[in-house]
Amino acid sequence: MTTAAPEKDSESAARRPSRWSKRAVQVVFQSSDLTIIIAAALAAVSLRFGQSELPDDYAVLVALGAFAFLFLGPMFRTHRLESMSDPVTAVRRVASSWGLAVLLVIALSFAAKTSGQYSRIWLGSWALLGFVALGSARLFYRHVLTWLRETGRLCGHSVLVGPADRMEALLPYLSDRENAILATVAVAPDRGGDGGNGPGAGAPDLRDAVREIAVLCTRHRIDQVLLAPPLDDDMALEAYVGATRFLPVAVKILPPPGVLRRRSDFGLTDDPAVITVARPPLADMDRTIKRLFDIVVGSLLLVALSPLLLLLAALIRLDSPGPALFRQRRGGFGKASFTVLKFRTLHVAEDGTRPLRQVTRGDPRVTRTGRFLRASSLDELPQLINVLRGEMSLVGPRPHALVHDTAFSEQVESYMARHRVKPGMTGLAQVTGLRGEVPDVETLQRRIEQDLYYVENWSLALDIKILVLTAIKLAGRDVY
C-alpha cells in the first residue's frame, strides 16, 4: 500500500488559475450577506424616514439581526455550497434562517422593553427587503459557483482509496472536478484461500490505509475520502466502509467509471451514482465556533489557574523524584496520535505505546500527591496547553493511550467512531459517571455510547453544560 500525490505538469500548473477553497467561498458569501442585511436596513430607513444613516438604537437592532442570521446559518445550512445547485432549496433555507433571525430580534426587543421605540413600518420593510435581497443573492451565488467550477478555481481536497487498477480507471473521470485528488492510497486485495481477487476472495486489510488517511487529515484540509472498492465483493465493500466510517470527513463510494458522470455542475455531491456513507459530524461553522470557544475559554482558564499549576508542579517534584509533567502518546482527531500533557501521578511513566495496565484503586504506582490529583482530576489541567495547540478540545471523548485504543477497538466495533471529533479534557461520559478504570466490555460499551451521542449531537450549549457539570463534580472520588 502506498500513498502518492498525483503527478502535475509544471507548465500546465503555472497556467492554472488560482484556486479557492470551499471555506473561503463560504466566508465571502457570508460577508456578502452581512452587507446585504445592512443595506436593506439603510434602504428601509430611507423609505421610512427619508434619511441615509441608521440611528444608533436601530444600528444595535441590525447588528443583532445580522449576528442571529449568521448564527442560525449552520442549522438551516444557509451557506452550504451544495445547496446553491437548487434555487428553490437555497431560497427556502435563507427564508427560514432570516425569518427566525427577525423573530429573535423582535423577541429580544420585547424582552428589553424597547420595542416601542422602533418603527414597525421600518421593521417590516427591513424584513421584506432583506428576504428579497438575500433570496436574489442565492441566484447570483449559483452563477458565481458555476463559473468558479468551470474555470477550475473552486477546489477542495479528496483522497482516493482502493485497488490500484480501479483507481487508475477512475482518475480520468475525477480530474476535472472541484475536489482535486490530493493523494491516492492503494489497498492490496486479500487473496483469501484460493489466490484470486474476485468475489469472495476475502476482505482486504485497510488498517495501514486508514493510518495514512488519518495522517493526511491532520496535515491537510481534506474534504472527502472517495472509496473505490470492488463492488462485486460484499466482504471487501463492508471492509472499506467499516474501516473509514470514523474518519472526520465525508466518505463516499464511487461507482464504476462508466456510470460516473464526467462533468457535473456541482461535482460529486449531486451525482446520484455516488453513495455517501458518512458525513463529518460538525459543519465548518460548527468547527469554527467550537475552536473559538476552546481558544477563548482555554486561554482564560490557563491564565487564571497558572498560580495553581505552579504550586502543583512544585508539590509533585517535592513528593517523588522525576519530572512534574507526564507525556504520553494518545489517539486523537481522525486517529492521528499526539502527545498529551498531564501532571505526573505515578512513580513510573509509560509512553502508551507498549502494553500497560490501567490504574486501579490502591495502585502502588500512584504517588501520595498523585492520589489527590487523580481524585480531583487536577492532573488533567496541563492539557489546556493541548487545547490551545489545537490537538484537543475542552469537551470531547477522552483520549486513550495508543495501546488501549487498539485493544478497545477490537472489543467494541463502534469504538473508533469517537475519533471523528477532537478528544477533550472532559466529556459526556465523564460527567455521567463513566470515568476511570474500564473493568469490562459492558462498561466500555456504555462509555462509547455516551461518546458517540456527543459526537452526533454536538452543540455549544452541550459543551457549556458538560463544563459546568465537570466543575461541580471536580472533587468526585470515582477516579483513582
Q: What is the pLDDT of residues 13-26, one digit of tens each?
A: 334 445 676 778 88
Confidence of residue 4 (pLDDT cuts 50, 70, 90): very low
Beta strands in 96-239 (DSSP E): 156-162, 179-186, 224-227
Q: Count other C-beta atoms under 10 Å from residue 67's C-beta.
A: 15
C-alpha to C-alpha distance for 163 and 169, rounded to whole angstroms:
10
Q: What is the pLDDT of residues 290-317, one digit of tens each?
A: 999 999 999 999 999 999 999 999 998 8
pLDDT mean across residues, the chain: 80
C-alpha to C-alpha distance for 126 and 120, rounded to whole angstroms:
10
Kindly tell me if the per-residue pLDDT of 469 is higher than 50: yes
Kindly tell me if the per-residue pLDDT of 398 is higher than 80: yes
pTM for the model stands at 0.60
What are the cell numbers at 325? 509533567
Q: 3-16+155-278, what's its fold?
A: Rossmann fold (3.40.50)
Q: What is the DSSP string of 3-62?
A: EEPPP--HHHHHHSPP-B-HHHHHHHHHHHHHHHHHHHHHHHHHHHHS-SS--HHHHHHH
Boundaries of CATH 3.40.50 in the chain?
A: 3-16+155-278
pLDDT given for residue 271 in this prediction: 63
By C-alpha distance, which of 229, 234, 187, 181 is closest to 211? Answer: 187
Average pLDDT over residues 126-136: 95
C-alpha to C-alpha distance for 43 and 20, rounded to whole angstroms:
32
Average pLDDT over residues 379-396: 92
Q: What is the DSSP string of 211-270?
A: HHHHHHHHHS---EEEE---TT-HHHHHHHHHHHTTSSSEEEE---TTTS-S--TTGGGG
Amino acid at 390: G
Of residues 82 and 242, more confidence is placed in 242
Is residue 209 helix, strand or coil? helix
Q: What is the pLDDT of residues 442-468, one digit of tens each?
A: 888 888 889 989 988 898 999 999 999
Give percent of the chain with pLDDT exceeding 90: 27
Average pLDDT over residues 24-45: 92
Of residues 64 and 220, more confidence is placed in 64
Confidence of residue 266 (pLDDT cuts 50, 70, 90): very low
Kindly tell me if the per-residue pLDDT of 1 is higher than 50: no
pLDDT given for residue 177 in this prediction: 56
Q: Tell me whether strands 179-186 and 3-4 are parallel, antiparallel or unpaired.
A: antiparallel
- Residue partners of 265: CB distance under 8 A and separation at least 6: 85, 146, 149
Average pLDDT over residues 357-378: 74
By C-alpha distance, which of 152, 141, 151, 147 is closest to 29? Answer: 141
pLDDT given for residue 196 in this prediction: 43
φ and ψ at residue 111, rounded to 5 degrees: -65, -35
